[in-house]
Amino acid sequence: MRLLAFVVLLGLVGALGWWATGTPATRVGVVASVAASALVLVVTSIALRRSLVVALWMSVAGMLLRLGVWFVGYRSVRGEHEDVRAYTFAFFAAFVVALCLEMTYVLAAAKGQRRGAT
C-alpha cells in the first residue's frame, strides 16, 4: 500500500511538471524523469524485501539508469533541434523531487521492517 501512495505522488509530480511547462522539450524531460523514477521506485521496493543494503544499492543503480535516460533524451531533443537546457532543467528538477520521494519511501519501509511490519 505504501508503494502505491508513493507512485501516485510521483505521478502527481509528473502531472504538475507537465502542467507547469509549455515547450515539448521540457515536457519530454518531465515525462522521461518521472517514468524512469517510477521504474526505479518499484525495483527498489522489490529489493527492499531482501534487505536495506540491497535496496540502497538498487537506488544507486537507479541513479545511473536515470542518467542514461537523460542522455538518451538529451540526444533525442538535440536531434530535434529543441532546447536541451530546458530539457535538462526539467529532467533534473523532476529527478531531485523523485529522489527525495524514493529515499523517504526507503526510510519509511526500513522503519516498518525494524518494527516487524511488512
Kindly report, residue by residue over 4-21, the tens digit of the pLDDT: 999 999 999 999 989 988
> CA-based Rg of the chain, rounded to a whole angstrom?
15
> Domain limits of the chain?
2-115
Please say whether the dihedral angle defined by the alpha carbons of residues 49, 55, 58 and 62, taken in this order, is positive or negative: positive
Residue 1: pLDDT band (50, 70, 90) is low
Span 36-53, average pLDDT = 91
Cα separation, 61 vs 43, in Å, equals: 10
Q: Alpha helices, DSSP H only, in 21-83? A: 24-48, 52-79
Q: Which residues contact 80 (CB under 8 A, 6 or more apart)?
A: 24
Per residue in 61-110, pLDDT tens?
Answer: 999 999 999 999 999 999 999 899 999 999 999 999 999 998 898 888 87
Tell me the whole-structure pTM to 2 decimals: 0.84
Please, are residues 101 and 13 in contact by the beta-carbon 8 Å criterion? yes
